Amino acid sequence: MIMDQHPPGGKVMKKVHFIGIGGISMSGIAELLLSEGYEVSGSDAAETAITRRLEKLGADIGYPQKADNIPEDTDVVVMTAAIHEDNPELVEAKRRGIRVETRADFLGQVMRGYDVPIAVAGTHGKTTTTGMISEIMLAADADPTISIGGILRDIDGNFRVGGRKYFVMEACEYTNSYHSFYPKIGIILNVEPDHLDFFKDIDDIRSSFHKYAQNIPGDGVLIINKDIEGFDRVAGDLGCRIVTFGSDSSADYHAEDMECDEFARYTFNVCHAGKKRRISLGVHGAHNVTNALSAIACADELGIPEDIMKKALLDFTGTDRRFEIKGKLNGCTIIDDYAHHPTEIKATLATAKKYPHRELWVVFQSHTYTRTKALLDEFADVLSMADHVICAEIYPARETDTLGMSGEVLKNRIEERGTDCYYFPTFEEIENFVRKTVVDRDLLITMGAGDVVKIGDDLLKNI
């Protein structure tokens, strides 16, 4: 079985319980264990499509979370970082002396059961790049196991159970969870200030990424963006081989002769080892050229033929919530995007500028009070790239202290830049305003990592 060679605590596990089994990552791990013949149980706040699917696959799931959801003879309980110490199932597991693992630690153990674990890290672009690599490997019939932070259309979900050789996954830096991973091929796309409710500053973040890179074994490879500020701090003193990509010709992989079509899809030459290959992307935006360079470098490491790699990148049109075209309202194109950091917003709006439109509208929902406060001026600067901005109330996620931040505070800061900006405290008010305001050939982007996607869905519901 998948963890028999490297069982936590030296004990081969057969019965695993997941607190919050319906989460994106937790459900994927649970599905993998079910396919390997483990006895899987779990709990969640309420039944969902994800939990129903797991139940059909054989999982025993209880609602809501309570102590007696944990079966007798459970070997390990897996929980996410969001579970509090007073959670009744966590309390019960400790009372019964059951081993408790965080999701990240447990996933790290699962990865050790594969010959070539591949982990994609970085402040931005993880989901898209993981999707690109997955698409290439699927096209090459490599039969990868895949864990991705969005919906990948070719696998109709966020998780695919494949063979025992390749495991492709995102590696998130928040709470240093990726320090539990030991990839054979590690990728670092970029390193910028984010998650400042956890990290002290950019130096702390660089140290975190360096620790992640140190987990790559001596016979492994780090594929890293040479444009990263403080590159040597991240990539220095490593035992593995290093392959670079970036904008400069000094990088091992770089792009030349870039062209884009009317929908901001790029064609370019990949320059590597004195050779050039002409690549066309199916996703939008210049920022995806950089993501593609890392995916191409990974494909080369895996020995995937050029023709397969090129076709896969052209066929890949992105994951859900990454410049996703949702439909039209009164002739206005509605797009949804997950961007929630100034760098991501800038890249998305630069792409939108090249997309056919009359006026560019953005409905933005900032994600967490700490990020809003730390990057308030940066948010105002990049959002001013749009013709019109509508600020929703901030999505608090795990936070309760507003720190004096609100959607209206952001709206006022944007207006100081001379940009037409509005604030409405409810989605209903935003939707009513949009229905009355946007016209034919406008472009409206709902943007943020919270539940702002509901606005576009509601607007298009009766179309």
For residue 334, the cross-strand partners are 327, 444
- pLDDT tens digits, one per residue of 257-306: 999 998 899 999 999 999 999 999 999 999 999 999 999 999 999 999 99
For residue 99, the cross-strand partners are 76
For the chain, domain boundaries: 8-102, 114-315, 324-460
Round to whole Å and give the CA distance between 323 and 352. 9
Round to whole Å and give the CA distance between 20 and 41. 10
Closest CA to 133 of 162, 107, 110: 162
Percent of the chain with pLDDT over 90: 87
- pLDDT tens digits, one per residue of 383-401: 999 999 999 999 998 899 9
Q: Binning pLDDT at 50, 70 and 90, where does residue 153 land?
A: confident
For position 8, what pLDDT does the model report? 45
Tell me the torsion sign for CA atoms 103, 109, 110, 115: positive
Round to whole Å and give the CA distance between 306 and 324. 28
**Cβ atoms of 271 and 256 closer than 8 Å:** yes
For position 6, what pLDDT does the model report? 43
Percent of the chain with pLDDT over 70: 97
* Mean pLDDT of the region 176-201: 94
Planar angle of CA 303, 304, 309, nearest 5 degrees: 145
> Over the chain, what is the mean pLDDT?
94
For position 82, what pLDDT does the model report? 79
Closest CA to 15 of 27, 217, 36: 36
Q: Binning pLDDT at 50, 70 and 90, where does residue 445 land?
A: very high
Instruction: Tell me, yes or no, if 436 is annotated catalytic.
Output: no
For position 12, what pLDDT does the model report? 58
Instruction: Tell me, yes or no, if 72 is annotated catalytic.
Output: no
**Half-sphere exposure (Cβ direction) of 150: Cα atoms closer than 13 Å:** 21
Tell which CATH classification among 2.40.110.10, 3.40.1190.10, 1.10.3720.10, 3.40.630.30 matches the domain 114-315: 3.40.1190.10
For position 2, what pLDDT does the model report? 57
Can you give the three-state secondary structure of the chain, one letter per residue?
A: CCCCCCCHHHCCCCEEEEECCCCHHHHHHHHHHHHCCCEEEEECCCCCHHHHHHHHHCCEEECCCCHHHCCCCCCEEEECCCCCCCCHHHHHHHHCCCEEEEHHHHHHHHHCCCCEEEEEECCCCHHHHHHHHHHHHHHCCCCCEEEEEEEEHHHCEEEECCCCCEEEEECCCHHHHHHHCCCCEEEECCCCCCCCCCCCCHHHHHHHHHHHHHCCCCCCEEEEECCCCCHHHHHCCCCCEEEEEECCCCCCEEEEEEEECCCCEEEEEEEECCEEEEEEEEEECCHHHHHHHHHHHHHHHHCCCHHHHHHHHHHCCCCCCCCEEEEEECCEEEEEECCCCHHHHHHHHHHHHHCCCCCEEEEECCECHHHHHHCHHHHHHHHCCCCEEEECCCECCCCCCCCCCCHHHHHHHHHCCCCEEEECCCHHHHHHHHHHHCCCCCEEEEECCCCCHHHHHHHHCCC
pLDDT at 49 over 90: no
Q: Which of 126, 226, 310, 411 is catalytic?
A: 126
Q: Which of 1-10, 267-276, 375-384, 397-406 shows the lowest per-residue confidence on average (mean pLDDT)?
A: 1-10
How is the beta sheet containing 60-62 ordered, strand by strand? Answer: 60-62, 39-43, 15-19, 76-79, 99-102
Round to whole Å and give the CA distance between 423 and 390. 6
Q: Which of 127, 128, 348, 370 is catalytic?
A: 127
Round to whole Å and give the CA distance between 384 and 335. 18
pLDDT at 339 over 70: yes
Closest CA to 54 of 77, 36, 28, 75: 28
pLDDT at 43 over 50: yes
For position 322, what pLDDT does the model report? 86
Q: Binning pLDDT at 50, 70 and 90, where does residue 124 land?
A: very high
For position 273, what pLDDT does the model report? 96
- CATH top-level class for 8-102? alpha beta
pLDDT at 459 over 80: yes
Which residue carries 């963890």 as its tokens?
3
Task: Record the tokens describing residue 54, joined without a space.
Answer: 């797991």
Round to whole Å and give the CA distance between 40 and 282. 38
Q: Which of 135, 170, 324, 393 is catalytic?
A: 170
* Mean pLDDT of the region 102-117: 94
pLDDT at 368 over 60: yes
Round to whole Å and give the CA distance between 106 and 128. 24
For position 11, what pLDDT does the model report? 53
Q: Binning pLDDT at 50, 70 and 90, where does residue 80 land?
A: confident
Q: How far lies 299's CA from each of 96, 250, 305, 307, in Å? A: 47, 20, 8, 11
* Mean pLDDT of the region 138-161: 90
For residue 444, the cross-strand partners are 334, 361
For position 398, what pLDDT does the model report? 84
Instruction: Tell me, yes or no, if 301 is annotated catalytic.
Output: no
Quick one: fold of 324-460?
Protein-Tyrosine Phosphatase; Chain A (3.90.190)
